[in-house]
Amino acid sequence: MTQPLAFLNMTAAADTGQVQKPRAPSKELMDAAASFEAIFARQMISSMRKTSLAEGALDSSSGALFRDRFDGEVAEMLGQRGALGIGKALVQQLSPAARAAYDPKEGTGK
């Protein structure tokens, strides 16, 4: 039922006969999507840490600092590798190539 904003632009362009060929996603979009995925992963890891009931060797202030830094690095790696698939979904939704997935005449996905 919902359609990406890119569809609106394509519909307007189709009305004027100015439909452009889809382009590959920009490096900036891919970097932003990877960064968003890393932020999401960090929040997820942080939430998982809060639910931990066990006490361990990393409960001191220096251990907490190490744990936070480690969690940040893991989140960054997850984002750069696209391990969760969130970045890929964002790129697909926001890239100009997403316009090609919709038929401007009927307004439905293929």
Residue 65 has a pLDDT of 87
- Mark whether 8 and 42 lie in a shared domain: no
Task: Indicate whether this model's pTM tops 0.85.
Answer: no
- Mark whether 82 and 107 lie in a shared domain: no
As separate numbers, helices (DSSP H) first and strands (DSSP E) second, the chain gives 4, 0
For residues 96 and 39, give the distance between their C-alpha atoms in angstroms, rounded to a whole number.
24
Per-residue pLDDT tens listing for the chain (110 residues): 455 555 555 555 555 666 556 567 788 989 999 999 999 999 999 998 888 665 665 667 788 888 899 999 999 999 999 999 999 999 888 887 665 655 454 455 55
Q: Is 30 helix (H, G, I), strand (E, B) or coil?
A: helix
- Mark whether 63 and 33 lie in a shared domain: yes
- Mark whether 43 and 3 lie in a shared domain: no
- Mark whether 73 and 44 lie in a shared domain: yes
Domain enclosing residue 8, as ranges = 1-19+100-110
- Mark whether 77 and 105 lie in a shared domain: no
Q: Is 109 helix (H, G, I), strand (E, B) or coil?
A: strand
Domain count of the chain?
2
- Mark whether 10 and 45 lie in a shared domain: no
Residue 57 has a pLDDT of 58
